[in-house]
Amino acid sequence: MKIKFAITALCAALLTGCGVAIKYSLSGASIPPDAKTFSVAYFPNNATMVAPILSSTLTDALVDMFTRRTRLMQVEEGGDFAFEGEITNYMSATSSVSTDDYAVLNRLSITVKVRFTNALDEKMSFNRTFTAFEDYESTRLLSEVEGELIPQIVDKLVTDIFQASASNW
């Protein structure tokens, strides 16, 4: 009986932790309890090749991710977590070639430069570049597939940005 009590007390002590001020959630985010707001500036498309829907799709997806997966409230600018940046590359290139030297697959890649400011802990702020891609059959034109590929690639980018800014792995 004493052993069960000791094990239960030990487990309770381990679960309560050492008073570290970090909130953990099922989303994988570890956001300080003092953080209340986030802001996302519009991400302009400064790539050589431009897709008209890309800037708004990326900006909206980042806002949506933080709205859905955190308790933070969105503000126009100067949030406790603030994001700004630009799309620096939007490119389609051959990714797979057949033995006859014909393109089998093409790859659409998107690169985003992100400046993240954590107003509560400057050490957690960063300037980073994120890249994601999707392959598509070379028999299809980019204009035919970009409407379906851009949201898929943006989802990967936003997930990476979210994890880099809101998770302490």
pLDDT at 168: 59
Whether residue 66 contacts residue 81, with contact meaning beta carbons closer than 8 Å, is answered with yes
pLDDT level of residue 95 (50, 70, 90 thresholds)? confident
Residue 1: the pLDDT is 53
**Every domain of the chain and the residues it spans:** 29-165
Instruction: Give the CA count within 13 Å in the CB-facing half-sphere of 2.
Output: 0
- Kindly calculate the radius of gyration of the chain based on its CA atoms and give it in whole angstroms: 21
Residue 22 has what pLDDT? 38
CATH class of 29-165: alpha beta
Q: Smallest Cα–Cα separation from 29: which of 58, 71, 74, 78?
A: 71
Calculate mean pLDDT across residues 106-127: 95
* Inter-residue contact 131 to 111 (CB < 8 Å): yes
Q: CA 84, CA 14: separation in Å to the nearest integer?
A: 38
**Helix ranges, the chain (H):** 2-16, 54-69, 142-166
- Return the pLDDT at 21: 38
Burial 1-25, CB ≥16 within 10 A → b, else e: eeeeeeeeeeeeeeeeeeeeeeeee
